[in-house]
Structure 1
Amino acid sequence: MSAPVESPMHTQHLLADPYDKPLLTVKFRAVVSRDQLAAAVDLGLSTYNGGDRHPDTWTVAEVRYHAESQILAGSGRELQEGAEAMAEMARPDFYDPWTRERVQAVYRAVDRAFPGAGGIS
């Protein structure tokens, strides 16, 4: 199975403390769904950087960085649960229109950062 979109690999310094001497850079590939990307980006940007900004204002660089950071740092189960929640909240009949619009904006941010990964919800 191959992924339709490749993300530029960023060096993430999540596993070593700043005072540690880096020994090795390990590269890996993760095949993720559009919903999983949206969940990773939402968690990263809403929690750490940009939570007070609308997702339509998030830059491509921010979206890519936080997607990769959360995929690397999080668990597969957490990512899948987040993906299922994002997909549910993006549905046109979701009961809370404010949440639905915000989640759909997260998907738009993902689509900007990873063209070809899917379409607008």
Structure 2
Amino acid sequence: MTNEHPYPPAFRSGDLVSVSGRLGVSEAGALVPGGFDAECPQAFANLEAALRSVGATRADVVKVVVYLTDIADRDGLNRVYEEFFAEPRPARTCVGVASLPYGGVVEVEALARVRDV
């Protein structure tokens, strides 16, 4: 798997941040072993890294979209989501899909708003 893509991990325009879909891949660019239970927390860690790359944090996130290849993993997603985001948690959509890039089982994208303090 290559990490070369024609788009950035995150893009900031003013106070708006859009994070491209994050898979459960390691820094080496390969899916972490262990299926959903390993990929899901890694995907959220990758989301956080993408947010930081443009000066945002998880607290700035207002909307998350999660794609699952097995919608039965939704309960596991909810556990990771609750651990990752503090109250009040951002809005979220969960979508079942037939497949994801590189054979991943979960992909996370987000929209954030960075407020000047």
> What is the TM-score with the length of structure 1 in the denominator?
0.28
Larger radius of gyration: 1
TM-score normalised to structure 2 length = 0.28
Q: Which has the higher strand share?
A: 2
